[in-house]
Structure 1
Amino acid sequence: MAVGGAVNATGDAGYVHLIDPRRKWYNNRRLIALHAWIVLLLITSSNNGYDGSMMNGLQTLPQWRDYFHTPSGSMLGLLNAIQNIGSLAAYPFSPYLADGLGRKKTVFIGAVIMCIATVIQTAAQSVGMFIGARFLIGFGLTFGAGAAPMLVTEIAYPPYRGPLTSTYNSLWYSGAIVAAWSTFGTFKIKNTWSWRIPSALQALPAVLQVFLVLFGPESPRWLISKGKDELALNTLAYYHADGNRDDPLVQYEFHEIKNAIDFDRTVAANVGWKALVATPGNRRRMRIIVALAFFSQWSGNGLVSYYLNIVLNSIGITNPTTQLLINGILQIWNLGWALLAAALCDRLGRRLLFLASGVGMLIFFTMQTVCSAEFAIHESHAAAHAVIAFIFLFYASYDLAFTPLIVSYTVEILPFPLRAKGFTVFNFAISLSLIFNQYVNPVALEAIKWKYYVVYCCWLLFELIFLYFFVIETKNRTLEETAALFDGEDAAQHLHTGAVADLSPSTEKDEKSSGSLHEHADIPTTHY
């Protein structure tokens, strides 16, 4: 689909010829500073990963089980699910904070709540207090997790946007690694500090954000949406062009963003909750977004992510030290594969990674099911060891797409006015799928053992078919160019022919003061 000069059949972004080849992330001071701010935002994902892995580890600790009277069944499900119930409670507010107060202030608010919640969790004197703290953790995490990836993708230097945004969800495993090894390290402590120390460490990313995030850059797209065009232009110039407001890339980005936002406001009226399903393009977006959210949690990964001890017990591996070691090594393995996939997402493409992930998960989870059945029937130790091997191979496949790409793909296919609301729907769908998993998985595993795996084998086949027919390629495009892929030629043509007339006086003034756009390397006047 061609849209003016911005989108072409080869998938090359219209800005490519405007990039200064000498400006790299490692040799430019302002890009280094920008990436430092981005890292501060990326660690938001670490909190989420920390929580899942910590709960896995705590269930293995006799000190935690004894203190809370060995929770099992529905109580164990509640202890895991309550964080996502807290997230559900925050979703009605999250997009309004991100769009109203700004991305970085929303991250700050979430971090403050996280700090308070982890203090309560660490000091828990009863299972009710522990559950309440975990509810508050989910509530606060929603604000940070809703705003941080959007801010990353909206401030990133264009050539690095895809890998950086994909790194966001990949760092889920960095938190999981710290949690897994901290619970392993405190395992020998013979009192409640064996689980209180890992609980306290969960606050570290939030503490850093409380002290630093308000000093970082705000989203130029959000600034333009609030009429702060000069500040947006200065932000783009400072970080993307060493302060040069007349840089061709900066002018391209500024006017493309402004025209896209003006188009959504005046032509498409693409701003409210109803807009998420009001047009064929938006319905295509939501179908993909909701599906990816459920796929990310219903691919069989929820069994190991939250109930590894139950899975290992079912194949005769019951030693707590061995279970904690497997958990810790698995998180390192996952982080490596996820970061590799994030680095290659612009080279290999999103669609190829999704399809490769789907095929690999189906094959290796099926083999895990077969080996689990073999152990259950014949108590074969070789089959038990094979289950562990296939768990690792399954996660390598999962990490090719469903760790790095689900967040980055979601935020890049949504136009700016719908990005916060659409991303909230995505997170809401994840929470719903997690709550179901965390309640159903322990009960089903206890009731029908390995036969429960067969359900996921059938579901993985459905996932692969869906991915083949519905996921489209978005690599090497700006956010505005990517959004145009879903809205058809008519919407793109409206913007291409009419957006110049709708530019605000401040933009026209900017054009006069900096010279004609066509004087800057033939930058197109309108893009979407």
Structure 2
Amino acid sequence: MAGGLVATGGGGTETINALIHPGSWYSNSRLIKLNLWILLLLITSSTNGYDGSMMNGLQTLEQWKSAFNNPSGGMLGLLNCIQTVGALAATPLAPYATDGLGRRIPILFGATIMIVGTIVQTLSHNVGAFIGARFCIGFGLTFAANAAPLLVTELAYPSQRAPLTSMYNSLWYSGAIIAAWTTYGSFRIPSSWAWRLPSVLQGVPSVFQITLMWFCPESPRWLINKGRDAQALKTLAYYHARGNDQDPLVQFEYNEIKEAIALDRQVASSVGWTDLFATPGNRKRMRIIIALAFFSQWSGNGLVSYYLNRVFDTIGITSVSTQNLINGILQIYNFIVAIVAGLLCDKIGRRTLFIASNIGMLVFFCMQTICSARYAISGSSAAANSVIAAIFLYYGSYDIAYTPLIVSYTVEILPYHLRAKGFTVFNFAISLSLIFNQYANPIALDALGWKYYLVYCVWLAFELGFILLFLIETKNRTLEETAALFDGDDKVAEIHARAAADAHLGDGKVRTPSVDEKGESDMIEQARH
């Protein structure tokens, strides 16, 4: 692949833009309803963000430390990384559930497991129970996190797909904000409820999902792939065109999905893990996806995400109240930057945001390293304050791309038949990188202090070089067109030519489901009611 390849727009995007209904989404009651369903899916990421921030806060609480024998070094790393180990254990199973049972069932299953884990975690009286509970939470989270972003991107209205999918990872910070301020308030409780209360609240998003997911629509792409075409058309029509299944936009979406899936089936009648690396296009995808997964966790952010108190200790900030206050403010700041960047992804472009993000991270992490070294030498309060400023500037840079885009970019560049498995590889790579971060970082910080930051300075320079060479621009493309981009312009043209021909755009003729398909849809509706 040529370095810095930038894709040009295609006819499919122009067609979609021409067919999108004018007017604001908030004046369309069905789009409002659809976006509320999407919000229910997005809070899966909030659960993940809550966990990381909660563990950061618990490490500052004397009540938690005394309850678990003041864990440090390897034991502290284990308490953090065991959630990721649970996620790894579920990784081989999650894509089969997502592809075989649909997008909704794995989310329900995962939420149920997470609630069980939260209950055990809250009631823990020893380290073993706490570790087992966190393993359980990680196991359930993998099923939900594998399916939720796929359902978001496959349900969203075309013009809102990229920003809404970008919101998925951005809402990590919504959970982090709640956890940070919960622990800031609860550390004054003179009992074990100082840490049990934050643990109880971790299960709230899962309770909402178990209650409401039964009524959420299923992915039209999954329905078509399972031969339930009429139900898929009805879902697209209900949410994208006020119920009109003859609407040109709905017909184009419907036929584009059908043709893309049909072409994918011509390539591979049965999809295995080796297909992820079987073609040049797929190898390009996986090279970027695996790199982004590791970059998202190995950019120095793991130090602040899980061991902020250790970072503060190295610059003389040891007050529990001050540490939790800064953590709470940092999470709000992160959330705002990530949301704004996610909303701008189609205007600015993914590649531009990633480049800007990597340059900023490299500059400001080096600044943090220099100021930390200065404090270690002189004990200067100005140097300590500069470290805090550098952390905020660094995270602002990280949030430009790595918070909103890593999930949405991964999902959109994968074709339907590889989407669940490819996204599983992405999550697997993140889990591997997290285990290293969560287990090795506290040991390295204890042994090296600020000198450990130099490792990340070098790695951040490598990341910037990789992004400049290999990241492909994907803005302003339909989901099928973006996935086909890696396989060459011929496949893009073929998908859109077939979709346009099937929909007969421009002459007033549209494809409607057959009698059998309508009968199937009626039976499905009767079964649901």
The TM-score, its normalising length taken from structure 2, stands at: 0.93
1:303 is matched with: 303
Per-residue CA deviation, residues 476-528 of structure 1 (Å, 9 max, x unaligned), is 11110101210024544665678899xxxxxx8xx7xxxx44425999xxxxx
Could you tell me how far apart the structure 1 residues matched to 2:31 and 2:497 are?
Answer: 35
Task: Give the structure 1 partner of residue 364 of structure 2.
Answer: 364
Opposite residue 61 of structure 2, the aligned amino acid is L
TM-superposed CA distance for 1:272, in Å, is: 2.0
Deviations 1:97-140 (A, max 9, x none): 00011001111111111111100000001110000000000000
Amino acid at match of 1:57: G
How do 1:414-429 residues align onto structure 2 when only pairs under 5 Å count? Answer: 414-429=414-429
Distance 1:175 1:469 in 2: 34
Q: Following superposition of structure 1 onto structure 2, how do residues 207-222 of structure 1 map, counting pairs within 5 Å?
A: 207-222=207-222
- Matched-pair contact (CA < 8 Å) for 1:270–1:417: no
Distance 1:181 1:25, change over 3 A: same
Map of 1:14 onto structure 2: 15
**Range with greater deviation from structure 2 (230-239 or 482-491):** 482-491
Match of 1:324 in 2: 324
What are the within-5 Å matches in structure 2 for residues 448-487 of structure 1? 448-487=448-487
The question of whether the paired residues in 2 share the 8 Å contact of 1:7 and 1:481 is answered with: no
For structure 2, which runs of at least 5 residues remain unmatched after alignment? 1-6, 512-529
Q: 1: distance between equivalents of 2:85 and 2:169?
A: 20
Q: Is the 8 A contact 2:86 2:139 kept in 1?
A: yes
Superposed counterparts of 1:85-104, under 5 Å:
85-104=85-104
**Aligned equivalents of 1:160, 1:141: Cα separation in 2:** 26
Q: Distance in 2 between matches of 1:169 and 1:497?
A: 34
Q: What pairs up with 1:50-449 in 2 under 5 angstroms?
A: 50-269=50-269, 271-449=271-449
In 2, distance between residues paired with 1:55 and 1:87? 17
Distance change in 2, residues 1:377/1:326 (3 Å): same
Say which SS state the counterpart of residue 366 (structure 2) adopts: helix
Structure-2 separation of matches of 1:61 and 1:153: 39
Q: Distance in 2 between matches of 1:433 and 1:93?
A: 20
Alpha-carbon distance between aligned partners in 1 of 2:451 and 2:76, rounded to the nearest angstrom: 21
Question: Could you say if the C-alpha distance between residues 364 and 237 of structure 1 is closer, same or farther in structure 2, counting changes exceeding 3 Å?
Answer: same
CA, structure 1 residues 497+319, in 2 after alignment: closer, same or farther (shift >3 Å)?
closer
| 1:396 to 1:80, Cα distance in 2 relative to 1, 3 A | same
RMSD: 2.0
Mapped to 1, the partners of 2:359 and 2:437 lie a distance apart of: 22
Aligned mates of 2:56, 2:130 — CA distance in 1: 15
Amino acid at match of 2:17: V
Query: How many correspondences in the alignment?
Result: 506
Residue deviations 1:302-344, cap 9 Å, x none? 0000000000000000000000001111000000000000111
Residues of 1 paired with 2:508 and 2:439: CA distance?
58
Matched, 1:46 2:46: yes
CA distance in 1, matches of 2:508, 2:355: 40
User: Residue type matched to 1:258 in 2?
Assistant: K
Matched to 1:424, the amino acid is T
- Give the C-alpha shift of residue 384 in structure 1: 0.3
The DSSP-based 3-state class of the residue aligned with 1:230 is helix
Tell me the SS of whatever aligns to 1:190.
coil
Q: Sequence identity of aligned pairs in percent?
A: 66
Report the secondary structure of 2:477's partner residue: coil
Q: Is the 8 A contact 1:157 1:240 kept in 2?
A: yes
Alignment of 1:506-521 (within 5 A): 516-520=504-508
| 8 Å contact kept, 2:9–2:476 | no
Asked if 2 retains the 8 angstrom alpha-carbon contact of 1:365 and 1:394, the reply is yes
C-alpha distance 111-275 of structure 1, shift in aligned 2 (>3 A): same
CA displacement at 1:25 relative to structure 2: 1.8
Aligned to 1:526: none
Structure 1 equivalent of residue 37 of structure 2: 37
**SS where residue 15 of structure 1 aligns?**
helix
Counterparts in 2 of 1:7 and 1:98: CA distance versus 1, 3 Å: farther
Report deviation, 1:178.
Answer: 0.5
> SS at the partner of 1:14?
helix
Displacement of 1:267 in angstroms is 3.6
Distance 1:72 1:173 in 2: 26
